[in-house]
């Protein structure tokens, strides 16, 4: 969304207790921010009303200890507006599951077909068939074929002289014969909605009875995307929405309105031109993105669940006593592994997304395993007393864990940085270079 909302949140977070007038001011900012971001007026009205009702109601003001709670309400209501839970892809009880994509020209339909087919192939061992149903531009068929080659998935096409409905008919028959478990129907788009386009899509729908009719919309088109979604839904009764180009400047205002206006779940988002740039849509993450604070709240909640509280207390005590050792070091890794993928966690930390190149950071689970192996190769004394680690001990650890001395030195360096960071954290400062912790 805009900086406005982030500023408002920041201001609020700095305050301790908040009053009713703070809430009102905050709501004004939120309303403006959402409207500026092209969120539908009725959606904004409804949303701000729900938040103020909860915030001003007894729920918060009576028991309020920190502004964090109102941030949490905003986050929860945004998540609810976005659909609360991720909605999985429909699946047919017998193969093939048919997925038809629709949308305006340039929305990202063909790219999305490639992305999802690849995603299913990689994650579900699927054997999809792609049907080239956009016959109006020869380049469109070629584009799908190139994508098919890239992901090693077959593409069925009959050139541009056959009607899309006939192509779909024959493509479906081929899929039956070959026992493909997924069929994707790529369709044509127009620059504007018109009857010819809609009638063609309806015919294809009738013939193929798709399990999913996904509408692909471009997030960058803002309010237009909402209008498009509304009329496609009216005419085709879509089963779900795909929001593409979320890698652009937009912060998801369109996603917010589309869900609220159509009532249909957003199932996937596109985050780039590459065929791997696809994500399952998670309302809570999108809410975080809209709020511009990463998924901090999700992270906090997740951490609360996953982190064994007793261990956390022990660790806190150790940090204060300055006895953080290698056992604690690898325990950190265990805790992190329980919390989910490292990349997810990095993404959740506010500000990380803004650091150039941070999105490219890949944390390699093998690397973690390697580091754990090095710690396991230490004697109990060495683990609690890092000062013992002279060069000959380091050589022994390297040999014992199958690593080079350089790698052992790196790990020890990382341990020391981690230790320093833990000390800073226990003294209440946000450590610089949080990323060091992850290797």
As annotated, the binding site includes 103-110, 186-190, 244-247
Which residues contact Mg ion (rule: CB under 5 A)?
109-110, 140
Region binding ligand GDP by CB under 6 A among candidate stretches 42-50, 56-64, 100-108, 360-368? 100-108
Residue (of 340, 322, 293, 288) closest to 425 by Cα position: 322
Residues 82, 91: Cα–Cα separation, whole Å: 22
Sheet of 155-156: strand order equals 155-156, 128-133, 182-187, 97-102, 212-218, 240-244, 266-270, 278-280
- Report the interhelical angle of 405-426 vs 391-401 (nearest 10°): 110
Site for ligand GDP in 246-285 (CB under 6 A): 247, 270-273, 277
CA count, 13 A, side-chain hemisphere, 256? 33
Q: How far is the CB of 111 from ligand GDP (least distance, A)?
A: 3
Please select the residue that binds ligand GDP; options are 111, 180, 262, 298, rule is CB under 6 A. Answer: 111
Alpha carbon distance 324, 295 (integer Å): 28
Q: To the nearest whole angstrom, how small is the minimum distance from the Cβ of residue 200 to ligand GDP?
A: 15
- Asked if 421 and 328 touch (Cβ cutoff 8 Å), the reply is no
Q: Quick one: which of 409, 436, 413, 412 has its CA closest to 424?
A: 436
Alpha-carbon gap, residue 133 to 167, rounded angstroms: 7
**Please, which residue, 71 or 140, has the CB nearer to Mg ion?**
140
Residue ranges of the annotated binding site for GTP are 103-110, 186-190, 244-247
Which of the choices Mg ion, ligand GDP, none does residue 175 contact, using the CB cut-off of 5 to 8 A by kind? none
- Please identify which residue in 54, 127, 205, 245 interacts with ligand GDP, judged by CB under 6 A: 245
Binding mask 189-228 for ligand GDP (x = CB under 6 A): x--------------------------x------------
Stated length of the chain: 439
- Total residues contacting ligand GDP (rule CB under 6 A)? 18
**Residue 52 site contact among ligand GDP, Mg ion, none (CB < 5 to 8 Å, cut-off depends on kind):** none
Between 359 and 435, name the residue whose CB sits nearer to ligand GDP. 359
- What is the C-alpha to C-alpha distance for residues 77 and 83, in angstroms, rounded to an integer? 10
Residue number with the smallest Cβ distance to ligand GDP = 270
For residue 219, how many C-alpha atoms fall within 13 Å in the half-sphere facing its CB? 25
Name which of 79 and 110 has its Cβ closer to Mg ion. 110
- Considering only residues 312-371, where is the footprint of ligand GDP by CB under 6 A? none
Q: Which residue ranges make up the site for ligand GDP (CB under 6 A)? A: 103, 105-111, 189, 216, 244-245, 247, 270-273, 277
């Amino acid at each position: 969304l805009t900086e406005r909302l982030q500023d408002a949140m920041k201001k609020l977070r700095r305050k301790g207790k908040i009053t009713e007038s703070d809430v009102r001011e905050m709501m004004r900012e939120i309303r403006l921010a959402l409207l500026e971001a092209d969120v539908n007026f009725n959606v904004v009205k409804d949303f701000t009303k729900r938040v103020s009702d909860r915030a001003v109601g007894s729920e918060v003001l009576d028991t309020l200890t920190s502004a964090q709670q109102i941030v949490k309400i905003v986050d929860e209501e945004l998540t609810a507006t976005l659909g609360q839970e991720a909605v999985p892809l429909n699946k047919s009880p017998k193969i093939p599951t048919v997925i038809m994509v629709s949308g305006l020209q340039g929305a990202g339909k063909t790219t999305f077909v490639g992305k999802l087919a690849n995603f299913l192939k990689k994650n579900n061992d699927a054997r999809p068939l792609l049907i080239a149903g956009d016959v109006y531009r020869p380049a469109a068929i070629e584009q799908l074929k190139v994508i098919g080659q890239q992901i090693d998935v077959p593409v069925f096409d009959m050139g541009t002289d056959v009607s899309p409905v006939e192509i779909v008919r024959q493509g479906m028959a081929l899929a039956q014969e070959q026992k493909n478990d997924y069929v994707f129907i790529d369709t044509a788009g127009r620059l504007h909605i018109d009857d010819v386009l809609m009638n063609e899509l309806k015919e294809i729908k009738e013939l193929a009875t798709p399990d999913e009719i996904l509408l692909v919309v471009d997030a960058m088109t803002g309010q237009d995307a909402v209008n498009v979604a509304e009329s496609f839904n009216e005419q085709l009764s879509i089963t779900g929405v795909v929001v593409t180009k979320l890698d652009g400047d937009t912060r998801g205002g369109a996603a917010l309105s589309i869900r609220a206006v159509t009532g249909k779940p957003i199932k996937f988002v596109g985050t780039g031109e590459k065929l791997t740039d696809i994500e399952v849509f998670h309302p809570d993450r999108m809410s975080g993105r809209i709020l511009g604070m990463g998924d901090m709240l999700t992270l906090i909640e997740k951490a609360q669940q996953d982190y064994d509280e007793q261990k956390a207390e022990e660790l806190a005590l150790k940090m204060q006593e300055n006895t953080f050792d290698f056992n604690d070091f690898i325990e950190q890794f265990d805790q992190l592994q329980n919390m989910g993928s490292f990349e997810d966690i990095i993404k959740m930390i506010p500000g990380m997304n803004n650091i150039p190149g941070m999105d490219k950071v890949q944390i390699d689970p093998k690397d973690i395993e390697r580091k754990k192996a090095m710690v396991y190769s230490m004697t109990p004394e060495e683990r609690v007393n890092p000062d013992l680690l002279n060069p000959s001990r380091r050589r022994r650890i390297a040999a014992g864990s199958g690593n080079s001395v350089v790698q052992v030195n790196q790990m020890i360096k990382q341990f020391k940085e981690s230790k320093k960071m833990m000390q800073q954290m226990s003294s209440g400062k946000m450590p610089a270079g949080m990323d060091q912790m992850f290797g």
